[in-house]
Chain A
Amino acid sequence: MTIPTPSQTVGPFFGFALPFEGDAHAVPPGSDGAVRIEGQVFDGAGEPVPDAIVEISDGDQFARCGTDREGAFHFTVRQTPHFDVLVFARGLLRHLATRLYLPEANLDGDSLLQMVEPERRHTLIASASEGGLRFDIHLQGDHETVFIQL
């Protein structure tokens, strides 16, 4: 029996269980090479998603952040060209996966971006903002983020 166990939604009530102290900081804020990434999760109506939890990882870096009432999350990570991002939420029967590229990354000929329609590539690239980077996640709608088939 090696059929993968199916996924089920994280539901709305994970807030007392999945967060942990310092969860959003893969590296200490202010440490060498650290950058703050913040964003919001939106649904198909453009409404913030207040019951999502976002995970970001790359190699030995891992951070997790539940969204607040504005759907906002934030991370502190050490800069690297791109990160893997997973999104869990009430209403997502299975999590969504995407990739976050830093704006200054050399994206010419990036093999993943080449597989995405040019007009949607920008959804994978963080933008410079005050105090760090911004990366919004649109689950659905006109600005829908490019998600990776799991």
Chain B
Amino acid sequence: MTDLDFEPPYLFPDYRATQMRAPRHELVRLPDEWFHQRRGPAFGRVPVSPGDADLTRQHRGEPLGERIILTGRVLDSDGRPVRHTLVEVWQANAAGRYVDPADTHPAPLDPNFTGAGRCLTDDAGVYRFVTVKPGAYPWRNHPNAWRPAHVHFSLFGPQLASRLVTQMYFPGDPLIPFDPILNSIADARGRDLLVARFDPETTEPEWALAYRWDVVLRGRDATPSES
């Protein structure tokens, strides 16, 4: 395992919802082979079809917004590609509104955009989605609180310790310095790991901008046998 670790704390009072939800007892530390190195969840029942990776083609028409390609590699803690692992994404539409009924932000829904996608990484650990750039949206954490534009990611990987749910942000977003969720990660190097890079090479002329974001999961592919 690596020495550097930029995980956010469970309790981060500036993100108010942590106050009643962060455990207060110390978490129990176990030898890695008891829990962390156990085989990750068998996600095979989760339905994934090729069309699920293109969020702009899930309805009759094309969604409004800036069309983007979102791609990158999923690596294990040794830097090796994590092949054929499940990647799930979800996001707000270009106006900053989720289709989720729990979202009451008075921005328009887009009848041509749901904002949920799935894919498996390929033999090189690469995932690739086509979507639109999500909008910023307000939340009630503090006065005038707005989330920077982000895409939610869920990844599995080879071991239980590999499981990761996180958020990907866009470079140059002026809301980033004000966001308690991203800034719960104390070290700027850790926050930078969640910001995608504009990728001119992958950008397709006359069609879509591209952003590249690589993900490193804990754990490695050679799962030791369990005791």
Check if B7 is an interface residue, CB within 8 A of chain A. yes
User: Are A8 and B21 neighbours in the complex by a CB distance under 8 Å?
Assistant: no
Q: Mark B194-215, 1 if CB is under 8 A from A, else 0.
A: 1000000000000000000011
Check if A73 is an interface residue, CB within 8 A of chain B. no
User: Are A146 and B42 neighbours in the complex by a CB distance under 8 Å?
Assistant: no
The distance from the CB of A150 to the nearest CB of chain B, in whole angstroms, is 6
User: Are B164 and A5 neighbours in the complex by a CB distance under 8 Å?
Assistant: yes
Q: Mark A38-69, 1 if CB is under 8 A from B, else 0.
A: 00000111010101000101011110000000
Q: Which of B62-70, B124-132, B170-178, B180-188 contacts A (4 or more CB under 8 A)?
A: B180-188
Check if B145 is an interface residue, CB within 8 A of chain A. no
The docked-state distance in angstroms from the alpha carbon of A112 to that of B44 is: 28
Residue of B10, B34, B46, B184 touching A112 (CB-CB under 8 A): B34
A86 proximity list for chain B (CB < 8 A): 163
Q: Mark A128-150, 1 if CB is under 8 A from B, else 0.
A: 00000000000111001111111
The distance from the CB of A48 to the nearest CB of chain B, in whole angstroms, is 12
User: Are A55 and B100 neighbours in the complex by a CB distance under 8 Å?
Assistant: no
A49 proximity list for chain B (CB < 8 A): 21
The docked-state distance in angstroms from the alpha carbon of A13 to that of B115 is: 11
- Residue of A4, A11, A44, A94 with most partner-chain B CB within 10 A: A4
Interface of B is mostly: loop
Check if A10 is an interface residue, CB within 8 A of chain B. yes
Q: Mark B1-23, 1 if CB is under 8 A from A, else 0.
A: 01011111110100101111111
The distance from the CB of B13 to the nearest CB of chain A, in whole angstroms, is 11
Given A18-B90, A147-B27: A62 and B4 interface contact (C-beta under 8 Å): no
Given A17-B115, A18-B88, A92-B21: A8 and B38 interface contact (C-beta under 8 Å): no
Check if A125 is an interface residue, CB within 8 A of chain B. no
A: number of interface residues (CB 8 Å): 63
User: Are B88 and A62 neighbours in the complex by a CB distance under 8 Å?
Assistant: no
Check if B79 is an interface residue, CB within 8 A of chain A. yes
Residue of B40, B78, B116, B193 touching A3 (CB-CB under 8 A): B193
A44 proximity list for chain B (CB < 8 A): 19-21, 24
Given A9-B181, A17-B152: A93 and B6 interface contact (C-beta under 8 Å): no
B22 proximity list for chain A (CB < 8 A): 91-92, 139-140
In chain B between 59 and 100, which residues have their CB closer than 8 angstroms to a CB of chain A? 75, 77-79, 88-90, 92, 98-100
Given A55-B41, A62-B42, A91-B17: A8 and B167 interface contact (C-beta under 8 Å): yes
The docked-state distance in angstroms from the alpha carbon of A57 to that of B45 is: 12
A148 proximity list for chain B (CB < 8 A): 27-28, 30, 35
Chain B residue at minimum C-beta to C-beta distance from A111? B34
Q: Mark B40-58, 1 if CB is under 8 A from A, else 0.
A: 1111111100000000000
B216 proximity list for chain A (CB < 8 A): 1-5
B100 proximity list for chain A (CB < 8 A): 12-16
Sort A-B residue pairs by CB-CB distance and give the 10 closest, nearest first. A91-B17, A17-B90, A17-B116, A91-B21, A57-B41, A149-B27, A93-B8, A8-B167, A13-B100, A62-B41
A-B contact pairs, 5 of them (CB 8 A): A91-B18, A139-B23, A141-B24, A144-B24, A147-B28
